[in-house]
Amino acid sequence: MVTDIDLALLTIGQAPRPDLSASTRAVLPARTRVEEFGVLDGLSRVEVEKSFGAREGGPVLVTRLQDGGTVTLDPVRIEEGLQRCIERLEGEGVRNIAVLCTGEFPTLRVGDAWLLEPDRVITTAIPTLVRDATVGVLVPLVDQIPEAREKWSVLDGEVHFAAASPFDEGYEQLVAAAEGLMSVGARALVLDCMAYGEGHHAALRAAGVTVAVLVSGQVFAHALAPFVA
């Protein structure tokens, strides 16, 4: 049973994922009891690819496994896995469940618990912060740009897109993508994946990026505090 925790952090991959949860933990009171769970916990890479792997030509999500490698996933099957995890956690008494992925999961449901989803938060909060501005959105994979275009149609101004893996530890892809977006007029950058974190923000600043940088995990983290404080 996990009834003694204040907040369950649920990743589409394998837990724990300190790179995803760091932004959330940083803004929560020190006394907050947090535990991490993953849809793919306990599965081998072969099992992951068989049960949750991306379908050819379909939309994709990407995550890092505990072995350090990355894997592309089918959003529909991951959504089903998330729902099973949510039902188990709520059945064990968890009252606050936060999904650590900015993907869209429209069918997720809970009973009496709070279900907190980054996609719903950032697509509401960020448009109010960058109203009428030209915005550059970064996603991990080129294949994710078509879905991102639809998702960020909520922005008022012109929007440009680029891909840069959050798992590129040298940050070269990220910096190059950011520079490309700024060259077409982006006055703000949205890092649309929970795997982007403070290190990515710092790397952009160190590279001379001066426009606003909105890291999804950081925006989402501040929305969680009222539920557990």
The range of the structural domain enclosing residue 103 comes to 7-117+219-228
Same domain (yes/no): 65, 127: no
> Count of alpha carbons within 13 Å of 1, Cβ hemisphere only?
6
**CATH at 83:** 3.40.50
Is residue 213 located within the same domain as residue 127?
A: yes
- Tell me, what CATH number does 214's domain have? 3.40.50.1860
Structural domain contains residue 51: yes
Residues 113 and 223 in one domain: yes
pLDDT in the model for residue 58:
92
pLDDT for the residue 183: 98
Please tell me the predicted confidence (pLDDT) of residue 227. 86
pTM: 0.93
pLDDT of residue 75: 97
Q: How far apart are CA 130 and CA 127, in angstroms?
A: 5
User: Distance between CA atoms of 59 and 143, rounded to whole angstroms?
Assistant: 7
pLDDT on residue 163 = 98
Taking only the tens place, the pLDDT of each residue in 214-229 is 999 999 999 988 888 6
One domain, residues 52 and 103: yes
Query: Which pLDDT does position 225 carry in this prediction?
Result: 84
Q: Is residue 46 part of a domain?
A: yes
Strands 96-99 and 7-11: parallel
Helices (H), the chain: 18-27, 45-52, 75-91, 118-129, 145-151, 172-183, 198-206, 216-228
The dihedral formed by the CA atoms of 45, 46, 52 and 57, expressed in degrees to the nearest 10: 100
Task: Examine residue 1 and state whether it is found in any structural domain, yes or no.
Answer: no
Domain count, the chain: 2
* pLDDT under 50: residue ranges of the chain: none
pLDDT at 55: 94
The rounded distance, in Å, linking the Cα atoms of 138 and 8 is: 27
Is 102 contained in some domain? yes
Question: 172 and 85 in one domain?
Answer: no
Residues 16 and 102 reside in one and the same domain? yes
- Same domain as 90, residue 80: yes
Contact 215, 201 (CB under 8 A): yes
